[in-house]
């Protein structure tokens, strides 16, 4: 049981490190990218009751510069969660072919 808890915590730490790295890279390419993306998420959550991060990314085209790694959006979704704008209610399959049908969070707006 202790090993499972350790592995889970290690996984969370690696996830957070990866998101931070992707966000830093996006900020290197466009100053204030994270702030712009968070503002977009806030506006999106005002007009959508439930959604995936993938839907937010797709809607952001032509409004927020595409980051070098789409993983940067993970940090934005976590930022929205921490701000209380969204909450995870389930999982869905990612439709982007390169994601290999991975599971991803399904979000509900709290705005």
Where exactly are the structural domains of the chain?
2-109
Cα separation, 46 vs 76, whole angstroms: 16
The confidence score (pLDDT) of residue 4 equals: 62
Cα separation, 75 vs 18, whole angstroms: 9
The confidence score (pLDDT) of residue 62 equals: 94
Give 10-residue mean pLDDT values along the chain (111 residues): 70 90 95 97 98 96 95 95 97 81 92 95
The confidence score (pLDDT) of residue 94 equals: 84
In angstroms, the Cα distances linking 67 to 32, 35, 73, 106 are 12, 13, 8, 21
The confidence score (pLDDT) of residue 80 equals: 97
* Predicted TM-score of the model (pTM): 0.86
H/E segment holding residue 55: helix 53-60
Contact 48, 109 (CB under 8 A): yes
């Amino acid at each position: 049981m202790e090993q499972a808890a350790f592995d889970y915590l290690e996984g969370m730490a690696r996830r957070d490190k990866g998101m931070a790295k992707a966000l830093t890279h996006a900020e290197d390419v466009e100053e204030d990218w994270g702030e712009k993306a968070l503002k977009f998420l806030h506006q999106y959550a005002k007009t959508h009751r439930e959604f995936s991060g993938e839907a937010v990314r797709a809607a952001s085209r032509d409004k927020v510069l595409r980051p070098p790694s789409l993983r940067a959006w993970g940090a934005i979704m976590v930022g929205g969660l921490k701000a209380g704008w969204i909450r995870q209610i389930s999982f869905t399959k990612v439709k982007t072919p390169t994601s290999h049908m991975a599971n991803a969070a399904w979000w509900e707006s709290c705005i």
